[in-house]
Structure 1
Amino acid sequence: MDGLITFLGENGFTVEQQETIATQFHRHELKKGSQFLQEGQISQQLGFVEKGLFQYFCNRNGDEITSYTAGPGDFLISLTSFLKQQPARETIRALTDSVVWAIHKRNFDQLRQTIPPFEVFYVGVLEDQIACIEDSRFNLLTLTAEQRYQKLLEEEPNLLQEVPLQYLASILGVTPRHLSRIRGQIR
């Protein structure tokens, strides 16, 4: 919970607000391969990753298409499913043994109503998520695979150590074989 409390403090919540918010989160330990959310389910919780690494993916014609990874200090959420209470279009799975602090949607909504700074914080998180999604989409449409890999090297080098090659390839929109060639050329 220390990571969550620190995160809340860094985002301007008073000690009292931090404690009120933190009591609404519950600790979950997930083993490698466990799912935080299954494609087709309606997301009822938002998670804060204390420890571990997660993969967002969907199944298309028997292939896993990885769209995103999340690690310590990140939130786990299927945004559309959580906000609109629609079936999730992706699965969120633990790639390592993990610890997540999760809050149920009804408690999340209650915090938005009772703690005004929480609503401001919520809007900020949404804006960050939207910007991240737009950036990812723009990069996929306008950059070559080599440029996307180079950008990943510069902005998130830790992913290259932590995320298996097949998931990185999927995120970059290439096959694992193509990613291996790119890595060989850039080294």
Structure 2
Amino acid sequence: MDRLYEFLVASGFEADQQTTVIGKFQRQQLHKGELFTQEGRICDRLGFVEQGLFQFFCDRNGDELTTYTAGPDDFLVSLSSFLKQQPARESIRALTDSVIWVISRQAFVQLRHDLPPFETFYVGLLEDQINCIEESRYNLLTLTAEQRYQKMMDEEPHLLQEVPLHYLASILGVTPRHLSRIRGQIR
């Protein structure tokens, strides 16, 4: 709860607003390998990661493609499924034993309606997500695999220690074997 509280304080919520928002979240523990959201099902909740590491992935013809990872202070949601109430195109799995704070879609919508600063907060989160998606897409289209790996080393070095190699390879859009070659060249 401390991380969620600190996140709300940093986001500009006043004390009574923090209490209102925090009261809508429920603590949940997930064990390594458990799913937060499953591809093909509607995502009707949003999670805030207090502790742990998560993999966003989809299954394409039997191949698991990792699209994103999330750790402490990140949010877990299959965004289009949550917003449009349609089946999720991805699954979200705990890569480690984890603690998250979960809010239902219904409570989330109610906060947006009842608490104007929460609506502002929500728009800010969406803008951040849009920027992340755009940056990721741009990098995949314009950077070489070596440049993408170097960028990950520079900007998110913790991922190289925490995320298994085959997931990193998928995020970078290469095979694990190609990633091993890249790592050998860059070291």
Q: Same fold (TM over 0.5)?
A: yes
The number of residue pairs the alignment matches comes to 187
* Aligned twin of 1:90: 90
Alignment partner, residue 14 of structure 2: 14
2:77 and 2:61 map into 1 onto residues whose CA distance is: 24
SS in 1 for 2:58: strand
Runs of 5+ unmatched residues, structure 2 = none
- Counterpart residue number, 1:76: 76
Instruction: Give the equivalent residue in structure 2 for 1:144.
Output: 144
The residue type paired with residue 21 of structure 2 is I
Q: Secondary structure at the match of 1:49?
A: strand
SS of residue paired to 2:40: coil
1:117 aligns with 2:117: yes
Partner of 1:154: 154
Equivalent position amino acid for 2:100 in 1: V
Distance apart, 1:151 and its partner CA: 0.4
SS in 1 for 2:4: helix
Question: How big is the shift at 1:67?
Answer: 0.2
Q: Which amino acid aligns with 2:124?
A: G
Q: CA deviation at 1:57?
A: 0.2
Distance 1:155 1:15 in 2: 33
Cα distance in 2 for partners of 1:129, 1:84 equals 16
Question: Hey, what's the Cα distance between the residues in 1 that align with 2:34 and 2:7?
Answer: 25
The TM-score, its normalising length taken from structure 1, stands at 0.99
CA distance, structure 2, for counterparts of residue 49 and residue 14 of structure 1: 22
SS in structure 2 of the partner of residue 137 of structure 1: helix
How far residue 40 of structure 1 moved from its aligned partner, in angstroms, is: 0.5
Q: What is the deviation of 1:41? A: 0.7
Q: How large is the RMSD of aligned CA atoms in angstroms?
A: 0.4
Q: Percent identity between the aligned chains?
A: 71
1:114-154 alpha-carbon deviations (Å, 9 max, x no partner): 11000000000000000100100010011000000000000
Q: Deviation of residue 113 (structure 1)?
A: 0.7
CA–CA distance in structure 2, aligned partners of residues 108 and 154 of structure 1: 35
Which amino acid is 2:167 matched to? Y
Q: Quote the offset at 1:167 in angstroms.
A: 0.1
What secondary structure sits across from 1:106 in the alignment?
Answer: helix
- State how far apart, in whole Å, the 1-side matches of 2:63 and 2:52 are: 24
Shift of 1:176: 0.3
For the residue of structure 2 that corresponds to 1:151, the secondary structure is: helix
Rounded Cα–Cα distance in structure 1 between residues aligned with 2:129 and 2:181: 31
CA shift at 1:55, angstroms?
A: 0.1
How do 1:58-73 and structure 2 match up within 5 A? Answer: 58-73=58-73
Which residue identity lines up with residue 105 of structure 2 in the other structure? Answer: K
Provide the TM-score with structure 2 as the length reference: 0.99
Q: Which runs of 5+ in 1 are unaligned?
A: none
- The match for 1:180 is 180
